[in-house]
């Protein structure tokens, strides 16, 4: 069964003062069809983990491994990782002026599957997926993320996940900024992808409300660059009640 | 570009990063109304380099064109005209020459004084040209030369005239454009010189009552290309649409200085120039002077310049400049922005499986697409798209280290 395997991952971020270590030994294994939730305080390194796995140039892996289905993910370029089946729904999706959503989706789909999608069925598929996510089909003609509201950007990320059919998807705070209806609609999209493609999911969140729609098989508590505790979905409820105090050392606050 | 938009080197304090704004009355120093124009070499001497109109230019590389003794052997001019259009080659003394305004800088005045023969393209009264008329200016040697082209659209005529510049040349050129009452003329000037070419071109247009000029400038090739289009309205109801597209590679200097002179009421001008830059030493300059004189009530004007910097070491100067001498205007605005293709955009597109070269192409094509469709001449649009693809291939090889085809 395909797995995304992360072993003792150490990652630094480039800063003006030189490299700054953020991840300090992350171990995580996700199998197809599984949903893992990661919760943790601000600044603990959750987005860093997501970006480093996707290959953002700002982050340097200083030690450890990450493999997708046995293949060395860290040896691949950003686009190779995506073509290998990794998807990252970003916390802050980037605007790309002048490139229409329709053109972008077609270009990305072509790159990922290695051939242009059949014209007739693709258009239908895109429209169908947009309707499911309650996105006006007029978005197809707009520039990628340009002028999209926060919630619209998140829907657009999940739209891509449904259309590109990755083997593993990292959802970085896809739930933040969504109103209650949007949260349900987006969660349904994720669940559809789970059913149809058996995608393995790493879901980064601060709130349990999304976990009522997307049931996690495992919950990981992320503190100070690594996983501090693991459990089932009951752990999420406990975190929401108790916060992260017990994981943070007495003299330790969330680092700025 | 919306992300990482900076006014890199604009010295116009009102240039905004994104979007536009409208002015009340603004009077910057060195009004265009006071700029000297003349047919005489003595009146416009060789620049020292610090003059307002030369301060961004590589004066050393333009030196040959500052001289009074320009020849004519460096270029050939060939015209393929639509059947309705007449073409003549005339001497200096033809009375129709020099009617579209006076030279406004040194290369314009050397060009005017040195040309031996001029090419006149006339679209006769009420004629509608059934095809594009093509004027091909070909550089055949590095001998510093002068050339003169006059395009005359007589009353109520309609035509598209495309000037093409290629080969290797060192050329000071005048393009006079006369659009008589009610005529509709499109003039496209493509500068696609080979490496080594140096070109200074003064376009001077006069637009009559209810006439419309669409003026398109496309600059890709050549070491130094400096085009200075002037447009002047002579009666009410005139309209000018000025569109420009440029793509500068390593060590290329591409400069476009426009001047729209609103001297009469009820005229409209629209200026849209977009440029991409790639490679060390790529330098583009865009200066857009718009003058709305006291008499030009109900003027409607808007100018826009956008630059997309694709790599480090390239520099885009952008200076919009709007002078308004009357309070009674319909609209006046400008916008200028220089954006970078940044790492975050590249990461986003690559994270969707799109390889780096493809991602850059996507962004550059997107940047130019709308502008190209504004040109409205299908044969030109197709060529432009092909040229942009070729430029992209060139610039991709800079990134990937692959040899150019
Ligand atoms: N360029 C940088 N310079 C300095 N510190 C940085 C830089 N980039 C990231 N960091 C730091 O790395 C740490 C981890 O950031 P990260 O975005 O991964 O946190 P997070 O867990 O996703 O937080 P949040 O819940 O707020 O999204 C933070 O302390 C952040 O300030
Ligand atoms: Mg984060």
Q: How far is the CA of B336 from the centre of ligand 1 (A)?
A: 34
Determine the pLDDT at residue B376.
Answer: 85
* Percent of chain B's residues with pLDDT above 90: 76
B18 to chain A, any CB pair closer than 8 A? The answer is no
Determine the pLDDT at residue B28.
Answer: 44
Q: How far is the CA of A98 from the centre of ligand 2 (A)?
A: 28
Who contacts B240 (Cβ-Cβ below 8 Å, separation ≥6)?
A: B205, B207, B212, B213, B214, B215, B231, B233, B260, B267, B268, B269, B270
| B186 sits in which H/E element | strand B184-192
More confidently predicted of B6 and A225: A225
Rounded-to-integer distance, Cα B375 and Cα B115, Å: 30
**Closest CB to A97 among B1, B354, B358:** B1
DSSP β-ladder status, B224-233 and B253-262:
parallel
| Set of chain B residues whose Cβ sits within 8 Å of the Cβ of A100 | 366
Query: Tens digits of per-residue pLDDT, B60-113?
Result: 999 999 999 999 999 999 999 999 999 999 999 999 999 999 999 999 999 999
- Cα A26 to Cα A43, A48, A68, A227, B378: the distances in Å are 15, 11, 16, 6, 57
CB-based contact B363:B345 (threshold 8 Å): yes
| pLDDT at residue B370 tops 90 | no
Sheet hosting strand B144-153, strand order edge to edge: B86-91, B117-123, B144-153, B170-179, B198-207, B224-233, B253-262, B283-292, B315-324
The minimum-distance atom of ligand 1 relative to the CA of A48 is: 18
* Pairs of CB atoms within 8 A across A/B: 87
The minimum-distance atom of ligand 1 relative to the CA of A173 is: 27
Determine the pLDDT at residue A37.
Answer: 97
Among protein residues, the one whose CA lies closest to atom 17 of ligand 1: A47
What single DSSP character describes residue B382? H
| Set of chain A residues whose Cβ sits within 8 Å of the Cβ of B344 | 94
Query: Tens digits of per-residue pLDDT, B177-204?
Result: 999 999 999 999 999 999 999 999 999 9
Least confident of A18-32, B9-23, B234-248, B311-325: B9-23
Determine the pLDDT at residue B400.
Answer: 56
Nearest-Cα distance to chain B for A94, in Å, is 6
Alpha helix (H) residue ranges in A16-58:
46-54
| pLDDT at residue B6 tops 50 | no
Determine the pLDDT at residue B83.
Answer: 98
Q: Which of B116, B3, B10, B13 is nearest to B70 (CA)?
A: B116
Determine the pLDDT at residue B12.
Answer: 34
Nearest-Cα distance to chain A for B174, in Å, is 35
Query: Tens digits of per-residue pLDDT, B317-331?
Result: 999 999 999 989 999
B367 to chain A, any CB pair closer than 8 A? The answer is yes
CB-based contact A126:A119 (threshold 8 Å): no
Angle at which helix B378-400 crosses helix B356-375, to 10 degrees, equals 160
Number of DSSP helices (H) and strands (E) in chain A, helices first:
7, 12
Nearest-Cα distance to chain A for B2, in Å, is 6
Distance from the Cα of residue B84 to its chain's centroid: 27
**Closest CB to B350 among A78, A104, A160:** A78
Angle at which helix B59-66 crosses helix B106-114, to 10 degrees, equals 30
The minimum-distance atom of ligand 1 relative to the CA of A58 is: 1
| Set of chain A residues whose Cβ sits within 8 Å of the Cβ of B365 | 98
B354 to chain A, any CB pair closer than 8 A? The answer is yes
pLDDT grade for B387, boundaries at 50, 70 and 90? confident
Determine the pLDDT at residue A84.
Answer: 97
Mutate to test the pocket of ligand 1, among A42, A43, A92, A226 (most ligand atoms within 8 A of CB): A43
Rounded-to-integer distance, Cα B143 and Cα B141, Å: 5
Q: Which two tokens stand for residue A251?
A: 């003299």
Q: How far is the CA of A56 from the centre of ligand 2 (A)?
A: 14
Q: Which two tokens stand for residue B105?
A: 């800088």
Secondary structure class of A3 (helix, strand, coil) = strand
In terms of CA atoms, which chain A residue is nearest residue B343?
A: A57
Q: Which two tokens stand for residue B343?
A: 């790492």
Per-residue pLDDT tens, chain A, 256 aa: give them.
Answer: 789 999 999 999 999 999 999 999 999 999 999 999 999 999 999 999 999 999 999 999 999 999 999 999 999 999 999 999 999 999 999 999 889 999 999 999 999 999 999 988 999 999 999 999 999 999 999 999 999 999 999 999 999 999 999 999 999 999 998 999 999 999 999 999 999 999 999 999 999 999 999 999 999 999 999 999 999 999 999 998 898 988 886 445 555 4
Determine the pLDDT at residue B9.
Answer: 35
Q: Which of B217, B265, B218 is nearest to B241 (CA)?
A: B217
The minimum-distance atom of ligand 1 relative to the CA of A256 is: 29
Secondary-structure percent of chain B, ordered helix, strand, coil, rounded to 5:
20, 40, 40
| Set of chain A residues whose Cβ sits within 8 Å of the Cβ of B349 | 96, 104, 108
In terms of CA atoms, which chain A residue is nearest residue B371?
A: A98
CB-based contact A51:A204 (threshold 8 Å): no
In terms of CA atoms, which chain A residue is nearest residue B2?
A: A97
Rounded-to-integer distance, Cα A206 and Cα A157, Å: 18
Strand partners for B231:
B205, B260
Distance from the Cα of residue B314 to its chain's centroid: 20
For B214, other C-beta atoms within 10 Å of its C-beta total 21
**Closest CB to A99 among B347, B353, B362:** B362
Rounded-to-integer distance, Cα B352 and Cα B355, Å: 9
Strand partners for B291:
B261, B323
Kindly determine whether residue B2 and residue A146, on different chains, have CB atoms separated by under 8 Å. yes
Tell me the domains of chain A and their CATH numbers. 3-250 (3.40.50.300)
Q: Write phi, then psi, for B263 (nearest 5 degrees).
A: -110, -10
Query: Tens digits of per-residue pLDDT, B161-174?
Result: 999 999 999 999 99
Q: Which two tokens stand for residue B42?
A: 């003595």
Dump the DSSP string for B208-277.
-TT-EEEEEEEEEESSEEEEEEEEEE-STT-EEEEEEEEEE-TT-EEEEEEEEEE-SSS-EEEEEEEEEE
Mutate which of B353, B364, B370 to test chain A, going by most A C-beta atoms within 10 A? B353
Determine the pLDDT at residue B366.
Answer: 87
Q: Per-residue pLDDT averaged across B298-305, rounded?
A: 97
- Is the shortest distance between the CB of A51 and ligand 1 below 6 Å? no
Determine the pLDDT at residue B23.
Answer: 43
* Percent of chain B's residues with pLDDT above 70: 90
- Length of chain A, in residues: 256
Who contacts A89 (Cβ-Cβ below 8 Å, separation ≥6)?
A: A154, A157, A158, A160, A161, A169, A170, A171, A172, A174
Kindly determine whether residue B352 and residue A164, on different chains, have CB atoms separated by under 8 Å. yes
Query: Tens digits of per-residue pLDDT, B139-156?
Result: 999 999 999 999 999 999
| Strand ranges in A78-123 using DSSP code E only, listed in sequence order | 86-89, 96-100
pLDDT grade for B403, boundaries at 50, 70 and 90? very low
What's the mean pLDDT when you consider all of chain B? 90
Kindly determine whether residue A90 and residue B343, on different chains, have CB atoms separated by under 8 Å. no
Q: How many CA atoms lie within 13 A of B7 on its CB side?
A: 15
């Amino acid at each position: 069964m395909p797995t995304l395997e992360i072993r003792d991952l150490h990652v630094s971020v480039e800063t003006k003062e030189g490299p700054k270590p953020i991840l300090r030994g992350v171990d995580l294994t996700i199998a197809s069809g599984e949903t893992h939730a990661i919760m943790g305080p601000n600044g603990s390194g959750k987005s860093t983990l997501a970006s480093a796995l996707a290959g953002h140039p700002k982050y340097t892996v200083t030690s450890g491994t990450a493999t997708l289905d046995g293949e060395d993910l860290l040896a691949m370029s950003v686009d190779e990782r995506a073509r290998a089946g990794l998807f990252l729904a970003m916390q802050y999706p980037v605007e790309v002026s002048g490139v229409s959503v329709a053109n972008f989706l077609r270009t990305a789909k072509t790159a990922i599957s290695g051939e242009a999608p059949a014209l007739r069925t693709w258009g239908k598929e895109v429209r169908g997926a947009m309707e499911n996510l309650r996105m006006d089909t007029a978005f197809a003609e707009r520039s990628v993320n340009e002028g999209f509201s926060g919630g619209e950007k998140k829907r657009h990320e999940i739209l891509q996940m449904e259309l590109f059919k990755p083997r593993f998807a990292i959802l970085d705070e896809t739930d933040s900024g969504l109103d209650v209806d949007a949260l349900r609609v987006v969660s349904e999209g994720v669940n559809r992808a789970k059913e149809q493609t058996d995608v393995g999911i790493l879901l980064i969140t601060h709130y349990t409300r999304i976990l009522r729609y997307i049931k996690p098989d495992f919950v990981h508590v992320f503190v100070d660059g690594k996983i501090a505790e693991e459990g089932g979905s009951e752990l999420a409820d406990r975190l929401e009640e108790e916060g992260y105090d017990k994981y943070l050392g007495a003299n330790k606050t969330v680092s700025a | 570009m919306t992300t990482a938009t900076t006014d890199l080197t604009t010295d116009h304090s009102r240039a905004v990063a994104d979007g536009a704004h409208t002015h009340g009355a603004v009077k910057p120093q060195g009004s265009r109304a006071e700029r000297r124009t003349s047919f005489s070499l003595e009146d416009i001497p060789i620049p020292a380099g610090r003059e307002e109109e030369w301060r961004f230019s590589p004066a050393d590389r333009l030196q040959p064109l500052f001289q009074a003794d320009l020849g004519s052997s460096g270029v050939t001019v060939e015209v393929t005209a639509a059947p309705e259009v007449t073409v003549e080659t005339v001497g200096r003394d033809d009375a129709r020459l020099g009617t579209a305004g006076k030279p406004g800088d040194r290369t314009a005045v050397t060009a005017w004084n040195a040309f031996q023969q001029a090419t006149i393209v006339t679209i006769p009264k009420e004629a509608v040209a059934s095809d594009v008329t093509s004027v091909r200016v070909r550089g055949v040697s590095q001998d510093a030369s002068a050339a003169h082209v006059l395009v005359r659209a007589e009353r109520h005529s309609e035509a598209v005239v495309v000037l093409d510049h290629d080969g290797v040349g060192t050329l000071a050129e005048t393009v006079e454009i006369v659009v008589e009452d009610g005529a509709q003329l499109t003039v496209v000037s493509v500068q696609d010189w080979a490496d080594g070419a140096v070109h200074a071109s003064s376009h001077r247009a006069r637009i009559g009552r209810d006439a419309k000029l669409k003026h398109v400038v496309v600059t890709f090739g050549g070491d130094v290309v400096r085009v200075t289009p002037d447009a002047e309205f002579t009666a009410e109801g005139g309209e000018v649409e000025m569109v420009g597209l440029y793509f500068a590679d390593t060590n290329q200097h591409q400069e476009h200085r426009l001047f729209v002179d609103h001297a009469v009421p009820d005229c409209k001008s629209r200026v849209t120039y977009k440029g991409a830059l790639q490679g060390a030493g790529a330098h583009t300059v865009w200066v857009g002077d718009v003058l709305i004189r006291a008499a030009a009530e109900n003027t409607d004007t808007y100018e826009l310049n956008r630059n997309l910097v694709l790599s480090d070491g390239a520099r885009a100067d952008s200076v919009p400049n709007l002078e308004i001498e009357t309070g009674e205007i319909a609209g006046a605005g400008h916008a200028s922005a220089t954006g970078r293709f940044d790492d975050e955009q590249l990461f986003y597109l690559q994270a969707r499986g799109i390889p780096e070269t493809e991602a850059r192409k996507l962004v550059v094509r997107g940047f130019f697409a709308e502008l190209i469709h504004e040109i409205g001449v299908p044969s030109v649009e197709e060529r432009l798209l092909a040229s942009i693809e070729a430029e992209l291939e060139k610039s991709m090889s800079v990134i990937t280290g692959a040899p150019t085809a």
